[in-house]
Amino acid sequence: MLRLALVFVLLMSGTAHALPLDVRCRVPGVHDADVIRAVHAVGLSLRVSDKVMLAGFEAGWVESHMNNLSCGDRDSLGVFQQRPSMGWGTPEQIMDVPYAARRFFEYAVRVDRPELSAGLLADAVQRSCCPERYDQAETRAGSMLRQAWQGGPEVVGGVVHVVRDGDVWAGGSRLSTSGDFVGRPSVAGRSVYARTARGEVRALAGGAARTVASGVAGDPEAVARPDGTVDLYAVLADGSVAKLSDLPEMIGMGGRSPQGALQSGSIPSWQAVSPAGFAAGKPSAVAYPDGSVALYVRSGDKLMATAAGAWREIAHSLEASPEAVLRPDGTIGVHTLIGGRPHRLTTTWEPLGEGRFIDTVSAQPDGTVYARTAEGSVLKAG
C-alpha cells in the first residue's frame, strides 16, 4: 500500500518545481515578449476569465520567467515546464507555445473553483512543490499582461501615440493614469480615442477622459469630419463593424479637469455597417475632402472595403488589421503586417523590409510606415 501511495504522489507531480532545478538549464532574468503575446492570444481565443488569464501568467513567470525553455527539471519543457511523461504532450508539442498555453488554460478552466486565488489555481494546474510562489508573482504577472495588451502605434503629425503599461502616451506625455487601456489608440482632431480591456472606448483630451462607447472587441478608428464632429468605427463583440456618428471633437472635456479624470454622460448606440461575424481587429477609415469615408477591415484572411454601403473584396492573405491612408495624389495606400513584416498592397502584398513587429502599422501619406516591436519600441519600418 505504501508503494502504491508513493507512485500516486509521483504521478500527481505533473510539472516541474518553480524554476528548473537543473543548474544546466539557464533561465533568462526577463520574459520573452513574443511568448507573453502568444500565451495571451490563446487565452483570449478561449475567452478565459481574468483570473484564469492571470493564473497563466503567474505560472509562466514562476516556471520559466515566461520563456520557452528547451530544458528543465527531469523532462520538463517549455514556458509552463510541462512534462511529456505526465501526458502534457510530446516534446515538440510542449515546445509550441500556443499548444502549451491551450493545455494550461483548458485544464485551469476545469479545475477552477470560486475560493481559489489566481495563484492557487495556477498551482492546481502545475502541482508544484511551491504553491505560494504563484500568488507572489501577481505583480510581475500583471505587468506582463499589460504589455501583452499593447498594440501598434498611431503616428500623427510626427507624434507617436501608444498604449504603454496600461496608459495612453503621446510622445513623452502621459494622457491617462487609469492603467486599464489596451491596444492601439486613434487620434481625431484634439482627442485621442482608446479602448479598455472591458471593451469601452474613451476619449481623452484636456487632461480628462470620457467613455463614449462600449461593447467593442477591437481597437477604435476615429475620423474627424469637416464639420468638426468625429465618426468612430470599431468591430463589436459579435464581429460586426459598427459606427458612431457626430461625436463632438472635444466631447465635453474641460482643460481644468484632473489628469485622467473620468467624466460621466450617456453612451450612444452603435450603428451596424456589416453583418455579425464579419470582421476582426481594427477598422481603417480614409476620409475624403468631400466628407465621404472609405472603410477597410479584415474578414478572415480577406481585405474588405466599402465606400457606399456595399462591401467588396480587394485582397487576401491578410493576417493583421489593414492600415489605409490617403496619398497626396488622391489614391489610397493599404499596408499591413504579414509574418510580422510590414507589407504594402500593389498588385500583390509587397514586403517593405525586415524585422518583426506586432499588431498593426501606422502609415503616413508620404509612404512612411511605423511599427512597434514586441518589446515596445516604435520604429520606422518602411
Amino acid residing at 105: F
In 3D space, the residue among 92, 108, 129 whose CA is nearest the CA of residue 16 turns out to be 129
Pairwise pLDDT comparison (175 vs 146), residue with the higher score = 175
Q: How confident is the model at residue 323 (pLDDT cuts 50, 70, 90)?
A: very high
Q: What integer best gives the mean pLDDT of the chain?
A: 88
Asked if residue 149 has pLDDT above 70, the reply is: yes
DSSP, residue by residue, 237-263: TTS-EEEEEEEETTTT--TTSPTTEEE
CA atoms within 13 A on the CB side of 258: 4
For the ranges 256-265, 334-343, 356-365, the lowest mean pLDDT is seen at: 256-265
Q: How confident is the model at residue 112 (pLDDT cuts 50, 70, 90)?
A: very high
CA distance 172 to 186: 17
Q: Does domain 150-380 have CATH number 3.40.50.720?
A: no
Grid cell for residue 1: 500500500
Asked if residue 175 has pLDDT above 50, the reply is: yes
Q: Would you call 26 helix, strand, or coil by DSSP?
A: coil
pLDDT digits (tens, 9 = 90+) for 206-265: 889 999 999 999 999 999 988 888 999 999 999 999 999 877 765 444 433 333 334 445
Asked if residue 159 has pLDDT above 80, the reply is: yes
Instruction: Report the pLDDT value the prediction gives residue 91, as an integer from 0 to 100.
Output: 95
Report how far apart, in Å, the C-alpha atoms of 244 and of each of 190, 213, 248, 271, 274 are.
18, 8, 11, 6, 14
Write down the domain spans for the chain: 2-145, 150-380
Question: DSSP assignment, residue 149?
Answer: H
Percent of all residues in the chain with a pLDDT value above 90, rounded to a whole number: 72
CA distance 382 to 368: 6
pLDDT digits (tens, 9 = 90+) for 12-38: 444 545 566 566 788 999 999 889 989
CA distance 143 to 140: 5
Beta bridge partners of 298: 280, 303
**Contact of 303 with 318, CB cutoff 8 Å:** yes
- The H helix count followed by the E strand count for the chain is 8, 24
Asked if residue 184 has pLDDT above 90, the reply is: yes
CA distance 222 to 168: 15
Contacts of 291 (CB under 8 A, 6+ apart): 225, 226, 227
DSSP, residue by residue, 131-148: THHHHHTHHHHHHHHHHH
Grid cell for residue 121: 489555481
Entry pTM: 0.80
Percent of all residues in the chain with a pLDDT value above 70, rounded to a whole number: 89
Instruction: Report the pLDDT value the prediction gives residue 9, as an integer from 0 to 100.
Output: 35
For the ranges 24-38, 186-200, 208-222, 325-339, the lowest mean pLDDT is seen at: 24-38
Mean pLDDT of 185-199: 94
User: By CB neighbour count within 10 A (0-12 exposed, 13-18 middle, 19+ buried), where does 346 fall?
Assistant: exposed
CA distance 315 to 337: 14
Asked if residue 367 has pLDDT above 60, the reply is: yes
Q: How confident is the model at residue 266 (pLDDT cuts 50, 70, 90)?
A: low
